[in-house]
Amino acid sequence: MHSIRWVVAVSFLVACVPGCSDDTVGPDDDAGGEAEGGHAEGGQAQGGDSEGGAGGQAPVDPCAGFATEVVDVQYGPDAGFGQRDMPGIVLGPPHGAGETTGSFDVVALGNGGTITMGFGDQVISDGEGPDFIVFENAFYAGGDPDSPFAELGTVEVSADGESWVAFACKATEAPYGSCAGWHPVLAGSEESDADPHDPAAAGGDAFDLADVGLTEARFVRIVDRPDTTGLAGSFDLDAIALVHWTCTR
Ligand SMILES: [Ca+2]
Ligand SMILES: [Ca+2]
């Protein structure tokens, strides 16, 4: 989350008294669509995945193809945004804001921060093409797809939570290849009814287990890239959706 975004968030809070519409920050239909005044102290413009109230503890469908738990999180400097709505804000489906706007339904990792997401009884499997999608809150500055507002993270996967393999994320200018955090999120936005499990329509950054030689995975870890000088601040996680998975429940 970059400081500019804080300005936007604060401006929004100033303009939006409790009970007003949050149409300017994304759909977030599940959350009831209203900003809460109580979030002001955390700098939050909206309650995120607050369907279940306190602390974003809304129950997540265990087989719906989304992350169901935060296994571990280590925040870096400049984190803070979204933490009061953890873990619910990063579980379940994405709440995108379209091609030219970044959603506030995210948690900022801070520079060098990391988060490990689990999927419960769901196992990500290597099917045809991409197998899961990571949703950040990137957007196209000025509507130009060649100029993404990117906050990059390296994505790692593990079948057992012990042994990890990483997707290469070395690019220092667009296009950012196998990094997460540079494609806008369409699924869950007002301008799209895209299936969040469809990598051709949902937006976000899609990953194929075959690219790192795995046939299945149970955990996804995202590590903010603190070295991306010239880019904006840290990686903001909205959600992870599965494309190919089985559920043993
Ligand atoms: Ca695949
Ligand atoms: Ca971001």
Model's pTM, two decimal places?
0.79
Residues of the chain where predicted confidence (pLDDT) is lower than 70: 1-58, 228-232
Strand residue runs (E) in 129-211: 132-135, 139-140, 148-149, 153-158, 165-166, 205-207
C-alpha 237/C-alpha 17 separation (Å) is 26
Kindly identify the ligand whose nearest atom is closest to the C-alpha of 217: 1
CA 20 to ligand 1 center in whole angstroms: 43
Neighbours of ion ligand 2 (CB under 5 A): 137, 151, 236
Fold classification of 54-247 is Jelly Rolls (2.60.120)
Span 122-143, pLDDT tens digits = 999 999 999 999 999 999 989 9
CA 43 to ligand 1 center in whole angstroms: 38
Residue 231 contacts residue 150 (beta carbons within 8 Å): yes
C-alpha 22/C-alpha 189 separation (Å) is 13
Span 153-187, pLDDT tens digits = 999 999 999 999 999 999 988 999 999 999 999 99
Kindly identify the ligand whose nearest atom is closest to the C-alpha of 139: 2
C-alpha 170/C-alpha 158 separation (Å) is 20
